Amino acid sequence: MPVEIRENPPRDLVQSLMRGAKLRCPNCGIGKLFARYLKVAPQCRHCGEELHHHRADDAPPYFTILVLGHLIVPMVLAVEMTFRPALWIHAALWFPVTVVMALATLPHIKGALVAHQWALYMHGFDPHDREPDAAGQYSG
């Protein structure tokens, strides 16, 4: 029995990542990617692209920590070397800065990750894929 190989048309990865990072649909760039703060919309309201297939899981917080760690630590060290503040001042300053920056960047990182999965036809984003999506429904 011959195996049928189906190839999907290529999707622009960079454009998709930029759209996702801007919290927009990776397909059209107009519709909103999220229904709420970190809840991905089931589908784009503008173009109808199904978005519920994503499997972002723990990757967005991991990448957020990775990025913010490389931004916050040099700032903490610069303040320490320049001003030598007391430890409580560091805590009072850097804890809220870190929390606010994490909450601000997390949706953008998650949006880029969902767009990455969409652009590469990962998980249920492949129209030929018959695996169940995150909600247990079959795609396609």
Does residue 131 fall inside a structural domain?
no
Does residue 137 fall inside a structural domain?
no
- Residues 47-76 have pLDDT tens digits of 999 999 999 999 999 999 999 999 999 999
Residue 6's pLDDT band, with cuts at 50, 70 and 90, is: confident
Residue burial 119-134, b: 16+ Cβ < 10 Å; e: rest:
bebebbbbeebeeebe
Residue 129's pLDDT band, with cuts at 50, 70 and 90, is: confident
What the block records as the tokens of 81 is 């070397």
- Residues 72-118 have pLDDT tens digits of 999 999 999 999 999 999 999 999 999 999 999 999 999 999 999 99
Does residue 99 fall inside a structural domain?
yes
Does residue 58 fall inside a structural domain?
yes
Among the listed residues 20, 24, 64, 54, the one whose alpha carbon sits nearest the alpha carbon of residue 133: 54
How many domains does one find in the chain? 1
Does residue 8 fall inside a structural domain?
no
What's the whole-model pTM score? 0.87
Domain of 31? 13-125
- For the chain, give the longest Cα–Cα distance: 74
